[in-house]
Structure 1
Amino acid sequence: MARNEDFLVKVSKTEAVSAALPVQEYWLPLSNLDLMLPPVDFCVFFCYDHVDVTFASTVVTLKKALADTLAPYYAFAGEITTNSLGEPELLCNNYGVEFSEARAYVNLHDLDLYRLEKSIYRLFPEKKRGVMAVQATELNCGSLIVTCRVHHRIADAYSANLFFVSWAESARSMPISVVPSFRRSLLSSRHPPKHSPSMDELYMPLPSVSSPPKPKRNPDSSDLDEFVSRVFYVAASKIDEIQCLASSEYSRVTKLEAFCAFLWKLTAKTEQKSGGARKAALGIVIDGRTRLGDNGVNNMGSYIGNVLTAPFRQCEMAELVRNPLGSVAREVHGVIETGASKEHFMGLIDWIEAQRPKPITPKAYWVNDGPAVMVSSGRRFPVREVDFGWGPPALGSYYFSEWGSPMGYVMPMPSATVDGDWVVYTVLPRRVIHVITEEAADMFRPMTNQYLTGHTV
């Protein structure tokens, strides 16, 4: 079926929705781990198929619940400013969240959900000020798409997930299940600071080099180096299959480790075919909340902010292609183990403190001497819980409208309709996409609209 790529979108109204309760204005410093992130936004979208209430009613519900949720989540209603050292800082002034109402003259089932740059991308709101912007878009068929744009230095995916669930709970007149915490002291550096020399291998201050080359992005280009966004659907049976292949009687790997190993081998095949670089890199984003929290006064489960590290490893492409999946999965496990301890996160916090006020960055994002991909697990994405009162989404996913790194990005998330299945969002060069679709078409299936009804793609 041909997809509608030229549909009209009209924004009828935009206003800032502030917290329902008064918020005392004050400055909230960013943590050292916040400062590690570049000044980019990430986007999230939720598709609701055939909503049974009027669009006007959905907008009233969304706005009221948003105002209620911003009272405890006041950081999302603030603005980014700069302190005397030139570092970013958050002014909690209850500016609000920019909320837009729009109409898209297209049916949900006619949208191209595989190539998001041809469809959903057009529905993301502009963010002129503040930390967050939201757009509610009504479609011809009565469906609804809610899109959000969030400043990454204020929140990571985990933080955003807490916010979305609380927003949905408020819309259903339920008390929020998690009271957010903004205690920056939980991520304070130690005195005296202490860090491993390995931090210099994983991170670097930005002034030591020029700006990283931004990957080219043009959805209409045929350039194989062009970065494009694609969404794949992966059945649970395929995930179980590669997990079985990567495991042995003595060593059982996780689903994520098997997936990363499989993807790493595919990435290595990309340049092997073109006779280019000799090494391929894999990075993995690791959440440190379970490493730093103690389930007591330092419980990190409700912390809002960035608690991430991004270790990576480069391996010879010939070895990655030649070695069995289990061997590559052990390499993946080694990458994860690099950042999977409390000492790693505390050392990273101390290392960043020693560099301030210089901006710093993970070295993984600068790898450009061979194919490279960063995997960020979104398997805790609570897509089914983002129910504002008219049912859970038929589809939800994260999205980067600006990916300023020569390293690709992949995020597996749970299916909203079929238990165990994954939705996999990717930002990769066309040459990598070509290898994925040629070499692993039985596993990476391009997202189609059949998924919205819960049918296996």
Structure 2
Amino acid sequence: MKMVANVVRSEWVVPIHTIEEQKVQLSNLDLLLPAQYVGVFLCYKKPTCISFRQMVSILKLALAKVIVHFYVFSSEVVRNSNGYSEIKCDNKGIEFIEAYSDLELIQLDLYNSHQTVEPNLLPNNNFRVFSIKVTEMKCGGIIIGCNFDHRVADAYSTNMFLLSLAEISNSKPISTIPSFTKSLLNPRNPCFYNPTLNDMYVPIPSSHFKNNIKNLSSINHTKKEPLISRIYSVNAQEIINLQSQTKGTKLESFSAFLWKLISEHTSKMYAQISKSDEQAIITSYSKTCKMGIVVDGRTRLSNNNNNHRSELHNYFGNVLSLPFVTKTINKLNSMTLAKITQEVHGFLEQVKNKQHFEDLIDYVQIHHPQQILAKIYDQGRENGPAFVVSSGQRFPVSKIDFGWGKPLFGSYHFPWNGDAGYVMPMPSTKENGDWIVYMLLNESQLDFIEMEASHVFQPFKFS
């Protein structure tokens, strides 16, 4: 059943205490991200002893209090006189939207998330850093959806914010005071970097980027099959089975499995174009398949100083790198899953160190004022499929309880306009080792994955 969520009211929640207006510089690692919004949404069943209006009141009051600590979420990203982006923190607050849907939670189609989540459950982008939408369902359930500007925060930072919002909603002190000390990510003097970063990142002329949400697909002009998003459940035992076959970590094994599936889809797709055309088959094997995996640098940049480690643990902002690896379809199809997992482990180990992240900070500094973009985003599906895996295993979905129970479901939603696919596995609220996997890929890729790996990827539905 198609969902429609009608907006009932919209208002601005301002900080409970006046915040001194200020401008916060984006760090060099923030500058690696284009102007793109990321969504996150949480579904709650109808509570037994609290009304929707009471829930809204609790959320708005908690939001007014938490903004005092997370003031960069009450802001917008602007250009200064030198043409650099910076965060303008003010007292305008956060847009808070209320909506109503004539559907029950159990009728919600989250499997086809591109049709349900973005147009209904997330607030429209208003060029503020953060906004929130609360939707009341016919059954009395509630869905809380948020959008945030990826230039200002990564998933780690947003998780910190959501946990603090839940703690304040329950009249508890927040457990993590965010740090906005951008000097933790200052470049070295003199700057230098390993030349291998030129294989991972590329400077983009600043003329491509405006002070708004960038349509990244314009960087790569080749018209390709559009990306759509779906959400799947993955049983814990299937993840264990993959890991036992490959001897890698769960994320490495899962990523290798998906990489091999997408490679196989590409070769079969070309074979179906013309089964009698040898050239079509040869072309498929000369194509490549790229896979990137997002790596968090907080623990890698830590040193033996306890205060430094603590500040990086609490640091609010982007501390990410995006290494990727390219293999020909022919090579991938001939490799065992265990061997592919070794390849995944190998390219990740090259960046899981302090040196890499210090080099990355310097790389951005040296190329100022050009925008730096990960090559897998820039080149995308230039010579074959490409996708990025970002682990959401630290998403504390079961802890985001605002006083009426833990969520039935929670997921990130990243419907970006770039050329590469995007996959994010997250823990299920069942807390039994099951995963929820958000996937943004071609429809034909998703159909093939469901057909070939139906034992792993189960279309998500409420039970």
**TM-score, normalised by the number of residues in structure 1:** 0.92
Is 1:290 aligned to residue 306 of structure 2?
Answer: no
CA distance in 1, matches of 2:252, 2:141: 37
Is 1:394 aligned to residue 408 of structure 2?
Answer: yes
Is 1:213 aligned to residue 217 of structure 2?
Answer: yes
- Of 26, 31, 35 in structure 2, the residue corresponding to residue 30 of structure 1 is 26
* Equivalent AA in structure 2 for residue 75 of structure 1: V
Is 1:72 aligned to residue 81 of structure 2?
Answer: no
1:272 corresponding residue in structure 2: 267
2:348 corresponding residue in structure 1: 336
CA distance in 2, matches of 1:215, 1:328: 30
* Equivalent AA in structure 2 for residue 410 of structure 1: V
CA distance in 1, matches of 2:307, 2:413: 34
Shift of 1:18: 1.6
CA distance in 2, matches of 1:17, 1:28: 21
- Of 346, 349, 369 in structure 1, the residue corresponding to residue 361 of structure 2 is 349
Secondary structure class of the residue paired with 2:217: coil
Contact 2:206–2:370 (Cα < 8 Å) also in 1: no
* Equivalent AA in structure 2 for residue 392 of structure 1: K
1:252-293 per-residue CA deviation (whole Å, 9 max, x = no partner) reads x11111001101100101111122452111100000001012
* Equivalent AA in structure 2 for residue 423 of structure 1: I
Shift of 1:319: 2.0
CA distance in 2, matches of 1:437, 1:292: 39
How many matched pairs? 434
CA distance in 1, matches of 2:219, 2:263: 19
1:347-370 per-residue CA deviation (whole Å, 9 max, x = no partner) reads 000010001111110101122211
CA gap of 1:20–1:381, structure 2 versus 1, over 3 A, is same
* Equivalent AA in structure 2 for residue 245 of structure 1: Q
Contact 2:153–2:318 (Cα < 8 Å) also in 1: yes
Is 1:359 aligned to residue 355 of structure 2?
Answer: no
Shift of 1:22: 1.6
CA gap of 1:212–1:136, structure 2 versus 1, over 3 A, is closer
2:277 corresponding residue in structure 1: none
1:305 corresponding residue in structure 2: 317
Is 1:225 aligned to residue 222 of structure 2?
Answer: no
Secondary structure class of the residue paired with 1:449: coil
Is 1:13 aligned to residue 9 of structure 2?
Answer: yes
1:431 corresponding residue in structure 2: 444
CA distance in 2, matches of 1:167, 1:309: 28
1:31-87 per-residue CA deviation (whole Å, 9 max, x = no partner) reads 001011010100000000122321100000000001111111111111211112212
Secondary structure class of the residue paired with 1:348: helix
Shift of 1:178: 0.2
* Equivalent AA in structure 2 for residue 187 of structure 1: L
Shift of 1:120: 2.4
2:273 corresponding residue in structure 1: none
1:383-432 per-residue CA deviation (whole Å, 9 max, x = no partner) reads 0011000000000000023x122111000000012410000001001121
2:186 corresponding residue in structure 1: 188
* Equivalent AA in structure 2 for residue 165 of structure 1: L
1:430-454 per-residue CA deviation (whole Å, 9 max, x = no partner) reads 121022111100001110112xxxx
Contact 1:27–1:89 (Cα < 8 Å) also in 2: yes
Contact 2:206–2:371 (Cα < 8 Å) also in 1: no
- The two structures, once aligned, show a CA RMSD in angstroms of 1.8
1:454 corresponding residue in structure 2: none
Shift of 1:335: 2.2
Secondary structure class of the residue paired with 1:170: helix
Shift of 1:215: 11
CA distance in 1, matches of 2:175, 2:244: 37
- Of 111, 114, 119 in structure 2, the residue corresponding to residue 117 of structure 1 is 114
* Equivalent AA in structure 1 for residue 159 of structure 2: N
Residue correspondence of structure 1 range 72-151 to structure 2 within 5 A: 72-121=69-118, 122-151=120-149
Structure 1 unpaired stretches of 5+: 217-222, 248-252, 451-457
CA distance in 1, matches of 2:445, 2:218: 17
Secondary structure class of the residue paired with 2:314: coil
Shift of 1:117: 2.1
* Equivalent AA in structure 2 for residue 336 of structure 1: L
Shift of 1:242: 0.5
1:255 corresponding residue in structure 2: 250
Contact 2:41–2:121 (Cα < 8 Å) also in 1: no
CA distance in 1, matches of 2:39, 2:63: 17
CA distance in 2, matches of 1:15, 1:131: 16
Shift of 1:214: 5.5
Is 1:317 aligned to residue 321 of structure 2?
Answer: no
CA distance in 2, matches of 1:213, 1:304: 28
Shift of 1:224: 8.7
* Equivalent AA in structure 2 for residue 296 of structure 1: N
Contact 2:35–2:151 (Cα < 8 Å) also in 1: yes
* Equivalent AA in structure 2 for residue 17 of structure 1: V
* Equivalent AA in structure 1 for residue 8 of structure 2: S
Secondary structure class of the residue paired with 1:178: coil
* Equivalent AA in structure 1 for residue 242 of structure 2: I
Shift of 1:8: 3.5
CA gap of 1:51–1:285, structure 2 versus 1, over 3 A, is same
Identical aligned pairs, as a percentage? 40
Secondary structure class of the residue paired with 1:272: helix
1:455 corresponding residue in structure 2: none
Structure 2 unpaired stretches of 5+: 209-214, 271-283
- Of 284, 290, 294 in structure 2, the residue corresponding to residue 281 of structure 1 is 290
Secondary structure class of the residue paired with 2:16: coil
Shift of 1:321: 1.8
CA distance in 2, matches of 1:412, 1:231: 10
